[in-house]
Structure 1
Amino acid sequence: MNIPFVYLILIAISLLNLSLGLIVLFNNRKNQVNIVFFAMTVLLALWAFTILMNWVVVEGVYVDFWSNATFWGPSFLSGFLLYFSLIFPRNHKKRGAKTLSIILFPALILFILALFNQINNKTYNPWTIERGFGIHIFNIYFSICAIFCFINLYRSIRRAVNIEKTQIKFVFFGFSMALLIGVFFNLLLPLVFDYTKLTYIGPSAAGTMFIVFTAYAITRHHLFNVKVIATEILTSAILLTLLTRVLFSNTLQDLFFNIVIFLAVLIFGLLLIRSVIKEIGYREEIKKAYDVEKLAHQELERLDEVKDQFLMATQHHLRTPITSMIGYTDMLLDGFYGDVSPKTKETLLKLMKSSKNLNKVVNELLDLSQFQLGKSAMVLKPGVEIMPILKSIIAEVKLEAKEKKLYLRMEKPEEEIPEIKADASKLEVALTNLIDNAVKYTAKGGVKIKVERPDSKIRIIIKDTGMGMAKEDIEKLFSKTFERGEEAKKMFGSGKGIGLYLSYNIIKSHNGKLWAESDGPGKGSSFIVELPV
């Protein structure tokens, strides 16, 4: 079957444009830009088809029909081009169906005029056409759409940045070239010189140039991905081969068979490209989620740093008035300002105790901030004895144990405990927290303290008969501040939740170890401290 070369070009261009339109549509079917672009490719294919039919049908009642039908595609295509220039590339939601309807209303009028043969009429020869009054409406509408499309794209280029600017430049270049070619071959030659033999160049060369550049601009961010490039090239190569078989089919049966194969491969290729793009989209989403998480983590670190700085500033400002309170209360108790009545002395002793407790909290917070900032507040000195420190702590905590009817005793070491290198005041804070916690969280029974000397270490075991702990609680016992277990909150509601964390870091700064052991909730706990000799 011999098919004229021009017919083959129009068929090939129609299939190519539809293929590009489907690729872009499947890229993102919900995006308005992609939908409008697909509509333009359909209209361009319709334009090519009507030109083909206008050449094929040279006699009979349908001559005028197909001659006027050649204006369907370019009429609606002009409107869609103008609308596309308004929404590309940002998919403006303000430009909805109402705007599109207003723009396409003249195209609808031209379509009706074409149906009644009012654009081209009395056409008895495909190369000799008599124009109707509708052609003037078409020329005005086409010119207005082209001018405003050009202006919109130019403004968008000036406003856009980065990838958007590049995308619009591609569309602008494709539109400019298509406009020049289309005006020359489809308006200037037919209307001025009455020469229509080259009208096929409009939908083929000009239209395809715009479609290709626009398709590249829309999917540009995907074209830099190796997988998509490989998939698109492979699919395009197969489709081009099959299209060649379609165009050069020898019989009608071969033509039908080749078209079916081409369409099947086209659908499969589009689905393949779509799946690859989806996979890349998922990866991009994962990367975006990772970036968001990273930013959130950085913000948390920044807030944590602000918190530490706030704590340090607050503690330094609190220390001065608390020290003054303790000093003036001590002077009052010593009778520096005169004799003090027993009732007043009792109140002053309570004030002194509260002030010292508050000063202890402030010191703990200051030490805590130092540890969280990665600074060590330890001054290790040799010749520090453990036993006097433990006895002092027991004497301080014994009153609370007595009030709760608990025993608090320390076993006599089986061998002499040597001196160690330590910061005596900080070590006392750490051990006080451990022994004080043991008493606070024990309802009955008591607390036993044992000191051993395994190898070149000193081991202090603080064993209670208190509430005990689950294994999962032990694992995170020393890792968090200002947090306590639910059972601990029920038993002792006013705890600060920083004692264990602080003790752990103090012991660690002494090159020692601190860990906890328990057989489970309600079975008591043991806190073990190891310090190097």
Structure 2
Amino acid sequence: MLSVANNILLTVVFINFILGFAVLRRNWKNPTNLAYLLLTFSIILWAISLFFFRAANSIDNILIIGKIVYTIPPFIPFFFLLFVYSLVGSKISLLKLAVFLLLPTILISVISLETSLVIAGAVIERGINQLHFGSFYFLYLSYLTLYFLIGFITLFKRYRTENNLIKKAQYRLILIGVTTAIVVGLFANGYFLTTFAFQYNWVGPIGTVFMVTLFAYAIVQYRLFNIKVISVQIFGGALAGVLLVKLLSSQGPSDFTFNSIIFIGAVVITILLIRGVLKEVETREKIQELAGKLEAANAELRQLDKAKSEFIDIASHQLRTPLSIMKGYLSMLNEGTFGKLSIKLKDPLNKIYISNERLITLVADLLDLSRIERKKLQYSFEHMQVSNVIHSIVIDFKQTARQKGLALHWRKPKKLPLVYADPQKLRQVFLNIIDNAVKYTNKGSIDISLKQDGDFIVFSAKDTGIGLTEKEAQRLFQKFVRGEEMKRAKTQGMGLGMYVAKLIIQDHRGAIWAESPGKGKGSIFFVRLPIAKSENKEDENEKQMEEFIKNI
């Protein structure tokens, strides 16, 4: 009957075997995966040699197998170092590094096997197989410790300087695994054995199970592999190991046959289960690969969008200056600065002025859109009278409305509270609304009004133009959206004006919306802006003063 310790050693063998080939199966050409397989293979040989060492029953066998037990461990830190350097990317050729590190490894192993410098003798005391160590034993342990520490320090340095979060998590798992292996393995099967506590020499391989499991997780989980595969393989390996031990411990032919059937059935079920999980993982990997490509495409689109915004910004700046100069000269011509104009010249000049004004508005919309999208739109807020801005816009459009046979009604309010706003940005909004009203109204009238409604100033522009459907009224304030009738009436236009207007009004803590009875029945555009807080206080003070005077 096998002891619990020997059962554990066999389980370690199976777990390392399954994990080693599971990782290699993912990419057998990868040096990191290959180094990991060799690391697990050396641990397997070590665990098997410990199993036979514990089972030996003569002094000669104990000594021979004991030397083999201490011949294999030097290869564990060697393959661990290769694994580390292939993972972090060594500047030195991996082949040259392997040759350089392998020479002292072989030397230590040969000394352990062929001389008495590491293992001097063997004894059986109280039924426990034990070894006597030679004068070279502590140098042997120092070699093992040194290789592990070099790998640990290399990983730790890379961990500290690594900016990639995935790789950082990968290094962290490996550091935890190697720390566990050093503490458990070196002390339980190295330094601790100098006190002749050989009954615990099975503890060291347990530490390697934690190490190889975390290494496997680090390799595959952070390369789009699912931990389910590792979990199933570990479970399957452990189950197979336990059943194999039970099979080897069978008593009689019938017991052996029964245990054989159970063992074979468990292996077949485990293989089928692993295949099912692998298929699921492959499907998930394909989905993740597609998601990665989609993310890359989105990133490229964001770059293109950024380049587009920067281009619009530059182009708008270049157009803005000449248009502003044209506006100045056209204003001076209309005002008679360069001499009195004939009636024939006044009409075309006014049309040029209005068209230039529309171009200025369009350029401003494009510029504001690019700045809004990059969150760089700047405002110059001040206490202002909205009626003054609207009055100047109405005057500019009076003549155009008259030429179209439209009645443009506007009565400037005598006194309204101030609002805290950017005058230029509000002018852009109101200019857009009034311009659209004139542009899309062929007959009838346009009524512009401004009034106070509680703590708000409300602007409205009512026209008898082409009108809007309910759906168009809702979508009108989206980017690059125009009404169907608007497209037919006027082919030019980009559908940016109302979108930019909405963003500007929102930044002023106001609201903008449109209402219409239907197509061909005109529409009303509203803008609501909050009264400046200081104005509210002044009004309250005035009311209080008036009441005080009345009381007197």
Give the structure 2 partner of residue 40 of structure 1. Answer: 39
Cα distance in 2 for partners of 1:379, 1:254 equals 101
Q: What does residue 175 of structure 1 align with?
A: 178
Q: Match of 1:127, SS?
A: strand
- Corresponding residue for residue 491 of structure 2: 504
Return 169-178 or 52-61, whichever deviates more: 52-61
Tell me the SS of whatever aligns to 1:504: coil
Q: Distance in 2 between matches of 1:360 and 1:385?
A: 13
- The offset of 1:145, in angstroms, is 1.0
- Which residue of the partner structure matches residue 99 of structure 2? 101
Distance of 2:80 and 2:265 partners within structure 1 = 32
Q: Is the 8 A contact 1:76 1:107 kept in 2?
A: yes
TM-score with structure 2 length normalisation?
0.54
Aligned: 1:297 with 2:298: no
- 2:209 matched to which residue of 1? 208
Q: Is the 8 A contact 1:33 1:91 kept in 2?
A: no
Offset of 1:133 from its aligned partner?
6.9
* Mapped contact 1:20–1:215 kept (Cα < 8 A): yes
1-structure distance, mates of 2:220, 2:440: 70
Partner of 2:146: 144
Give the superposition deviation at 1:157.
4.2
Is 1:281 matched up with 2:290?
Answer: no
Preserved contact between residue 53 and residue 66 of structure 1 (Cα < 8 Å): yes
Counterpart selection for 2:316 from 296, 312, 319: 312
Match status 1:159 vs 2:146: no
Q: Is the 8 A contact 2:62 2:129 kept in 1?
A: no
CA contact (8 A) 2:24 2:37 kept: yes
Q: Say whether the 8 Å CA contact 1:75–1:111 is kept in structure 2.
A: yes
- Structure 1 residue 77: deviation in Å? 0.2
1:26/1:293 CA distance change after superposition, 3 Å: same
Paired with 2:123 and 2:214, the residues of 1 have a C-alpha distance of 38
Q: What's the offset of the Cα at 1:504?
A: 1.9
What secondary structure, in the 3-state scheme, does the structure 1 residue paired with 2:18 have? helix
Partner of 2:82: 83
Supply the AA of the counterpart residue of 1:159.
T
Listed one character per residue, the Cα deviations across residues 140-181 of structure 1 (whole Å, up to 9, x for unaligned) are 421321332343344344334545444434433333333233
Deviation of the 1:317 alpha carbon: 3.0
Give the superposition deviation at 1:95. 6.0
* 1:409-448 matches, cutoff 5 A: 422-423=438-439
Residue 35 of structure 1: how far off its partner (Å): 3.1
Could you tell me whether the CA contact under 8 Å between 1:242 and 1:258 is conserved in 2? no
1:115-514 alignment, distance < 5 Å: 116=114, 119-120=118-119, 127-131=129-133, 135=137, 138-160=140-162, 162-190=165-193, 192-203=194-205, 205-221=206-222, 228=226, 233=231, 236-237=234-235, 239-249=237-247, 250=250, 260-261=264-265, 263-265=267-269, 267-319=271-323, 369=363, 382=401, 422-423=438-439, 504-506=491-493
Aligned residues of 2:170 and 2:219 also touching (Cα < 8 A): yes
Contact 2:80/2:151 (<8 A) preserved: yes
Q: Which secondary structure state, in structure 1, belongs to the residue aligned with residue 200 of structure 2?
A: coil
TM-fit CA distance, 1:209: 2.9
**Shift in Å, 1:421:** 7.0
Q: For residue 447 of structure 1, what is the aligned residue in structure 2?
A: none
Question: Which amino acid letter does the alignment assign opposite residue 8 of structure 2?
Answer: I
Percent identity for Structure 1 against Structure 2: 14
Give the conservation status (yes or no) of the 8 Å contact 2:188–2:203: yes
1:412 counterpart residue number: none
Q: Give deviations 1:335-354, integer Å, cap 9, x for gaps.
A: xxxxxxxxxxxxxxxxxxxx
Quickly say closer, same or farther: Cα 1:128–1:372, change in 2 above 3 A: closer
Whether the aligned pair in 2 keeps the contact of 1:318 and 1:362 (CA below 8 Å) is no
Instruction: Out of 68-77 and 32-41, give the one that drifted further.
Output: 32-41
Note the alpha carbon deviations across 1:206-231, whole angstroms, 9 max, x for none: 222322333344445589x9xx4556
Q: 1:303–1:44: structure 2 CA closer, same or farther, 3 Å change rule?
A: same
**CA–CA distance in structure 2, aligned partners of residues 266 and 29 of structure 1:** 22
C-alpha displacement of 1:96: 2.0
Aligned counterparts of 1:151 and 1:365: Cα–Cα separation in 2 = 66
3-state SS of paired residue (2:106): helix
Q: 1:106 and 1:509 mapped to 2: Cα distance?
A: 74
Task: Determine if contact 1:181/1:202 at 8 Å carries over to the other structure.
Answer: yes
Contact 2:221–2:227 (8 Å) recurs in 1: no
- Once the two structures are superposed, residues 466-503 of structure 1 have per-residue CA deviations (whole angstroms, 9 ceiling, x without a partner) of xxxxxxxxxxxxx9xxxxxxxxxxxxxxxxxxxx9996
Q: CA deviation at 1:309?
A: 2.8
Deviation at 1:44? 0.9
Amino acid at match of 2:100: I
Residues 236-245 or 140-149, more deviating: 236-245
1:141 aligned partner, one-letter code: Y
Residues 1:151 and 1:324: Cα distance change in structure 2 (over 3 Å): closer
Per-residue displacement from partner, 1:441-476 (whole Å, max 9, x unpaired)? xxxxxxxxxxxxxxx98xxxxxxxxxxxxxxxxxxx
CA contact (8 A) 1:121 1:132 kept: yes
**What is the CA deviation profile of residues 382-424 of structure 1, one whole-angstrom value per residue up to 9, with x for unaligned ones?**
56559xxxxxxxxxxxxxxxxxxxxxxxxxxxxxxxxx97449
Query: Displacement, 1:74?
Result: 1.0
Kindly provide the amino acid, as one letter, of the partner of residue 297 in structure 1.
Answer: L
The count of corresponding residues between Structure 1 and Structure 2 is 388
Q: Distance in 2 between matches of 1:220 and 1:19?
A: 16
Q: How many angstroms apart in 1 are the aligned matches of 2:19 and 2:229? A: 14
The verdict on how the C-alpha distance between 1:374 and 1:504 changes in structure 2, with shifts beyond 3 A counting, is farther
Q: Give the deviation of 1:15 after TM superposition.
A: 0.4
CA contact (8 A) 2:7 2:245 kept: yes
Q: 1:29 to 1:71 in 2, by over 3 A?
A: same
Q: Report the RMSD for the aligned CA atoms in angstroms.
A: 5.3
Paired residue for 1:9?
8
Aligned to 1:49: 48
Question: What residue in structure 2 maps to residue 74 of structure 1?
Answer: 73
Q: Which amino acid aligns with 2:286?
A: Y
The answer to whether the Cα contact below 8 Å between 1:87 and 1:95 also exists between their aligned partners in 2 is: no
Q: Does the C-alpha gap of structure 1 residues 314 and 19 become closer, same or farther in structure 2, counting only changes over 3 Å?
A: same
Give the letter for the 1:144 counterpart. Answer: L
| Change in 2 beyond 3 A, CA 1:108/1:84 | same
Report the Cα distance in structure 2 between the residues aligned to 1:258 and 1:366, rounded to whole angstroms.
85
1:50 CA drift (Å):
1.3
In the alignment, the residues of structure 1 paired with residue 183 and residue 210 of structure 2 have an alpha-carbon distance, to the nearest angstrom, of 11
What is the TM-score of this pair, normalised by structure 1?
0.56
Partner residue of 1:19? Answer: 18
In the alignment, structure 1 segments of 5+ residues that lack a partner are 328-333, 335-357, 387-419, 427-455, 458-478, 480-499, 512-529
Determine the C-alpha separation between the residues in 2 that align with 1:104 and 1:361. Answer: 83
Q: Per-residue deviation at 1:13?
A: 1.3
Give SS of 1:74's match. coil
Opposite residue 209 of structure 2, the aligned amino acid is T
More divergent stretch after superposition (120-129 vs 280-289): 120-129
State how far apart, in whole Å, the 2-side matches of 1:150 and 1:241 are: 32
Structure 2 vs 1, CA of residues 195 and 309 (structure 1 numbering), >3 Å: closer, same or farther? closer
